[in-house]
Amino acid sequence: MATSGSTDYNATRNDIITSAYGICGAIALGESASNEEVQVAGDALQKMIKAWQAEGTQLWKNEEVVVFLNVGTEKYSLGPSGGNAALEQDLYVTKLNGAHSSGATSLTVDSTTGMAASDKIGVVLTDGTLDWETISSVDSTTALTVTALDGAASDNGVVYTYTSTIARPLRLVNGRRRDWTGSDPIDTPFANMVSRQQYMDQPNKNNAGLPTEGYYDPQITDGELHIWPSPSSSSHTVHLTGQMPVEDIDTASNNFDFPQEWLEALEWNLAVRLAPRVGTPLNERSWLKNEALEKRMLLMAWDTEPTAVFFQPDFIGEEL
């Protein structure tokens, strides 16, 4: 017998809700939840997923966040109403082919690959600052039209483009600085992502140089990234591994922002949250909770980076 050849099984929000009600005994096989029951379960599902984020996001939600540096700016707002930042897979970088005057709307670049009308475009100007405009049209493989440049730009000036605004990162870790001035980009790892106190204790936060450390405050709507030293070049970017939020489940037909192996854990853990509301007996709730926890712990143990772990004895206090 031939196998299906497919590996794309998935479930919608209402599929998981129906399964969860069945697991906790609220509806029988073949029955459907009422509109009110679906609303209650949908709300519980959203809250459960958001609460899980507090334990740390899993590998599939770790994404590389790119922060565009501007000379003399040490604080950057990251999120839906924040400043310019992008996910690394959404970033395209090229260079100017020839000098361009202030007010120029037609740009000649080495390549327009990945660019489209309405994308954000950042051009490093001759004075070292970063000017953000919008792409009006992509005219050829090397030419595009933008809103007018705010200053003159030199030949080989770095050009950044991206399409989408990022969500607010929950955490930022493992920072590195990328230099775009050469023929190939060069990464230099940050010395540290530091605590709030460590950053606040820096005596001169406006000290100019190439950034070597950062502090991230997630806030509520937009997070705040502080870097030190204050950038001396806009031809560098900062790249950080971001723990990004899980997408909302807004409609009945939405799939989940989870890998397919998490679907069973989602329905069983939702059933645990629904059980007290639908009158599941206490002894059955205890069993249900244990089953759901086991399924989730299996997935959390699986969804970790397969790296080596080293142990060594602690000789502190031993006499030599």
Q: What is the mean pLDDT of the chain?
A: 93
Q: What is the pLDDT of residue 306?
A: 74
Q: Helix or strand or coil: residue 301?
A: helix
Contact status, residue 165 vs residue 217, Cβ threshold 8 Å = no
Mean predicted confidence (pLDDT) in 150-177: 96
| 15 pLDDT more than 70 | yes
Edge-first strand order for the sheet with 236-243 is 85-87, 62-68, 236-243, 171-179, 186-189
Mean predicted confidence (pLDDT) in 94-122: 98
Q: What is the pLDDT of residue 302?
A: 86
Mean predicted confidence (pLDDT) in 23-37: 93
pLDDT digits (tens, 9 = 90+) for 290-318: 999 999 999 988 887 776 666 667 655 55
The half-sphere exposure of 66 on its side-chain side, counting CA atoms within 13 A, is 25
| Cα–Cα dist 21/37, whole Å | 9
Mean predicted confidence (pLDDT) in 253-268: 96
- In percent, the amount of the chain with pLDDT more than 70 equals 96
| 56 pLDDT more than 80 | no
| Cα–Cα dist 207/205, whole Å | 6
pLDDT digits (tens, 9 = 90+) for 185-218: 999 999 889 999 999 999 999 899 999 999 999 9
Q: What is the pLDDT of residue 114?
A: 97
| 106 pLDDT more than 60 | yes
Mean predicted confidence (pLDDT) in 105-127: 98
